[in-house]
Amino acid sequence: MLHCIIGMVDKTKRALAVLQDRSQRDREELTMWMRRHAEGMDNDMKKRTSEMMASTLRQTEDRVTEVKRRAGKHIHRHISNDVDCQLVLVMHKSPYNCNGHGKRPMSRCFLYAN
């Protein structure tokens, strides 16, 4: 009967050792999974941040380009108006006003501006 009890104790010890081993492996696997998951989240966060920054940069560049285009158009319109004013002065041989509206030649003549 003593041998039977000792056998059961040995089996119980082996079973406990197996359970402890499995528990340790499960903890290690869980830790590795958590690390990989956290790294994946970090990489995902970095990717999202990078995409957001690239999008913001593109939008900013587009806005700057639009402002430059509008400024160029505005400047071109004013230069064109000044040239038109000078042509009118030459055609009418009037040194004092542009097309009879009383503007001095070097002041901004916006006769044709919309």
Residue 84 reports pLDDT greater than 70: no
* Calpha distance 89→94 (Å, rounded): 5
- Count the Cβ atoms, other than its own, within 10 Å of residue 105: 16
pTM value? 0.41
What is the pLDDT averaged over residues 88-106?
54
Using CA atoms in the order 79, 84, 86, 88, what is the torsion angle rounded to 10 degrees?
-170
| Tens of pLDDT, residues 12-65 | 999 999 999 999 999 999 888 888 887 777 787 888 888 999 999 999 999 999
CB 92 within 8 A of CB 61: no
For the chain, domain boundaries: 73-114
Task: Give the H or E element holding residue 110.
Answer: none
pLDDT band at 3 (very low <50, low <70, confident <90, very high): confident
Task: Give the H or E element holding residue 21.
Answer: helix 2-92
CA angle 11, 12, 13 (to 5 degrees): 90
Structure confidence at residue 38 (pLDDT): 78
- The tokens for 36 are 């990989």
